Amino acid sequence: MRRPMKLSNFPIMLAILFALSILSIAPISTPAWCGDSPAIARVLASPPAADLGMSTKCAYCGMKLYVKKDTPSAEYAGKHYYFCDNSERDSFIAKPEKYLHKVANK
């Protein structure tokens, strides 16, 4: 014969069921930090061949530069951005929105 569940265990069971329901919903939404998100800046191995020789502005400091095969570059929201050096590129990667105004009127 089965014993009925004690009422003192009921809140614990509710908490467990609630936690499991939250965990089952979580994978449905894509977090902002997901690598596939266009809102994430990523380093490019090298500039696209079509951009070589192009005149542009450094996305970090705004200085005019010409894109070469070793120019530090990044992609953000589907656009390519170029930099004077790797440290500027790394700062842009960390917070791209902070620097976008410098290239808005290029």
38-75 pLDDT, tens digit each: 567 888 888 999 999 999 999 999 899 999 999 999 99
Please determine, for residue 27, whether its predicted confidence score (pLDDT) is greater than 70.
no
Q: How many domains does the chain have?
A: 1
Please determine, for residue 102, whether its predicted confidence score (pLDDT) is greater than 50.
yes
The whole-number pLDDT of residue 23 equals 63
Which are the contacts of 100, defined by CB distance < 8 A and separation ≥ 6? 59, 76
pTM above 0.85, yes or no: no
- Cβ contact 65:81 at 8 Å: no
The whole-number pLDDT of residue 5 equals 60
For residue 59, is it within any domain? yes
- Tokens found for residue 89: 């590129």
For residue 98, is it within any domain? yes
- Cβ contact 78:39 at 8 Å: no
For residue 51, is it within any domain? yes
The whole-number pLDDT of residue 33 equals 47
As a whole number of angstroms, the distance between CA 77 and CA 14 comes to 43
For residue 54, is it within any domain? yes
As a whole number of angstroms, the distance between CA 71 and CA 85 comes to 7
